[in-house]
């Protein structure tokens, strides 16, 4: 069977080539591209200036990815929305909308599940189901933008999954997201977060995009990092830090280091001192994230005073630090928990039928 052409993952150039093989003119490609990436229509038949015959052909030869909204939880405190979306093959993913004064930010998933195994993360508990296509990543933003009827100004690839474990689709997604013929988001408004896949970080640096790269650091020594993140076995802390320096050298973009504070595990004065030693002198920003406890692991949040002390220790040494504001406290589950709950509910409904 020949593979169907993935309409929404194609660049304008690829779409033009695809249509020219069907004897269609380039302006058709522009029309279709605009329907998908500017108007965000949910069916081929909504492309009303495309002749019926061509629409039929597209439906026959192509996939047209649209995510189905299965659930949304809306915070009464700050308007944060947590969405559960269904993929065409039945997998489910979650995405989050955060409303800030400076605009609307969407946190997207890059994979259904994850295979990185970070100890405190719910997304990885059931392993990786599969990576998402570029269209499936874009769709999370398009559906949320349509749902709220407002512009999405920022995107963070910090939901479930390891984006650099889905490298080719991620790059394609970034190109489509920032394309002047599409949503045209500024590269500077996009952040990609990685657990530290060194060769891919270097490849990304060579692309010289103006996006922000965030590294999930979580510990300032190899030994402690390894106890929290199995990926550290493959890529040692020193290599990861070198890759961060390389990223900065190539792109001029200040790195962000994410550090999830886990009570009694990585939140002591000594941990803060080691973190300063590791990052001092780098043009970087540290984002402290009080760990979001998941019931499958017995990690706990650091006390508020401990978080403050940790922050102060870093600031006293001249480091740029923020503590991540907890958005949507009332609907908050850790990353991947809404999806996990949904899958468990589905299993308990489906089991009696087996
Ligand atoms: N795989 C990528 C992006 C996804 S996770 C990465 O590792 O960076 C986004 C961030 O949330 C990462 O820093 C991750 O370590 C962190 N995170 C995951 N689960 C968490 C939890 N329960 N509490 C606090 N931070 C968590």
Q: Could you please state the CATH topology (level 3) that the domain comprising 5-63 is classified under.
A: DNA polymerase; domain 1 (1.10.150)
Q: Is 194 in the pocket of ligand 1 (CB under 6 A)?
A: yes
Q: Is 217 in the pocket of ligand 1 (CB under 6 A)?
A: no
160: CA distance to ligand 1 center in Å?
A: 8
Nearest alpha carbon, ligand 1 atom 13: 216
Q: Is 292 in the pocket of ligand 1 (CB under 6 A)?
A: yes
Write down the catalytic residue from 24, 62, 94, 258. 94
3-state secondary structure 61-101: HEECCCCEEEEEEECCCCCCEEEEEECCCCCEEEEEEEEEC
Could you tell me which of 232, 203, 97, 199 has the C-alpha nearest to residue 153?
97
H helices within 220-290, ranges in order?
222-228, 237-251, 269-279
Q: Which CATH number fits domain 68-348: 3.20.20.70, 3.40.50.300, 3.90.1150.10, 3.30.420.340?
A: 3.20.20.70
Nearest alpha carbon, ligand 1 atom 11: 158
Instruction: Count CB-CB contacts under 10 A for residue 29.
Output: 22
Which atom of ligand 1 lies nearest, measured to the CA of 214? 8
What local confidence, expressed as pLDDT, does residue 327 receive? Answer: 76
Say whether 335 is catalytic.
Answer: yes
What local confidence, expressed as pLDDT, does residue 343 receive? Answer: 80
Of 118, 218, 333, which is best to mutate to test ligand 1, by the most ligand atoms within 8 angstroms of its C-beta? Answer: 118
Q: Is 94 in the pocket of ligand 1 (CB under 6 A)?
A: no
Write down the catalytic residue from 62, 121, 195, 335. 335
**Average pLDDT, 10 consecutive residues per value, the chain (354 residues):** 90 98 97 98 98 98 98 93 96 96 96 97 95 98 98 97 98 98 98 98 98 98 98 98 98 98 97 98 96 89 96 97 84 70 69 39
180: CA distance to ligand 1 center in Å?
A: 31
Which distant-in-sequence residues (6+ apart) come within 8 Å of 111 by Cβ?
Answer: 128, 129, 130, 131, 132, 160, 161, 162, 165, 166
Q: Is 146 in the pocket of ligand 1 (CB under 6 A)?
A: no
Q: Which pTM does this prediction carry?
A: 0.95
Angstrom distance (rounded) from CA 257 to CA 241 = 10
Of 289, 323, 337, which is best to mutate to test ligand 1, by the most ligand atoms within 8 angstroms of its C-beta? Answer: 289
Every domain of the chain and the residues it spans: 5-63, 68-348
CA-CA distances (angstroms) from residue 349 to 44, 342, 345? 34, 11, 6
Nearest alpha carbon, ligand 1 atom 3: 158
Q: Is 165 in the pocket of ligand 1 (CB under 6 A)?
A: no
Asked if the domains at 5-63 and 68-348 fall in one CATH topology, the answer is no
Sheet-wide strand order for 212-216: 68-74, 81-86, 92-100, 103-107, 154-157, 190-194, 212-216, 255-261, 284-290, 320-323
Which atom of ligand 1 lies nearest, measured to the CA of 293? 22
């Amino acid at each position: 069977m020949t593979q169907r052409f993935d309409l929404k993952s194609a660049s304008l150039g690829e779409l033009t080539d695809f249509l020219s093989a069907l004897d269609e003119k380039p302006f058709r490609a522009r029309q279709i591209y605009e329907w998908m990436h500017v108007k965000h229509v949910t069916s081929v038949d909504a492309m009303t200036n495309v002749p019926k015959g061509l629409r039929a052909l597209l439906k026959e030869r192509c996939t047209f990815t649209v995510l189905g909204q299965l659930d949304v939880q809306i915070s009464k405190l700050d308007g944060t929305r947590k969405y559960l979306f269904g993929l065409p093959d039945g997998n489910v993913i979650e995405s989050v909308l955060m409303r800030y004064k400076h605009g609307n930010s969407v946190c997207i998933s890059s994979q259904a599940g994850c295979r990185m195994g970070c100890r405190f993360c719910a997304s990885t508990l059931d392993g990786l189901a599969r990576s998402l296509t570029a269209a499936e990543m874009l769709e999370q933003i398009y559906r949320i933008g349509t749902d709220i009827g407002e512009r999405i100004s920022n995107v963070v690839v910090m939901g479930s999954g390891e984006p650099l474990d889905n490298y080719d689709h991620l790059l394609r997604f970034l190109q489509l997201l920032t394309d002047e013929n599409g949503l045209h988001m500024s590269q500077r408004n996009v952040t990609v977060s990685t657990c530290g896949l060194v060769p891919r970080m270097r490849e990304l640096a060579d692309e010289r995009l103006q996006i922000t790269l965030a590294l999930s650091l979580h510990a300032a020594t190899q030994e402690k990092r390894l106890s929290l993140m199995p990926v550290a076995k493959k890529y040692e802390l020193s290599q990861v830090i070198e890759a961060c320096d390389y990223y900065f050298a190539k792109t001029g973009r200040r790195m962000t280091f994410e550090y999830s504070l886990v009570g009694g595990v990585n939140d002591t004065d000594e941990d803060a001192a080691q973190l300063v030693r590791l990052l001092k002198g780098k043009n970087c920003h540290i984002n402290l994230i009080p760990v979001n406890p998941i019931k499958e692991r017995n990690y706990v949040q650091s006390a508020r005073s401990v978080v403050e002390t940790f922050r102060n220790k870093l600031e006293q040494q001249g480091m740029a630090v923020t503590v991540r504001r907890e958005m949507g406290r009332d609907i908050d589950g850790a990353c991947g928990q809404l999806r996990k709950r949904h899958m468990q509910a589905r299993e308990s409904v489906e089991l009696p039928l087996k």
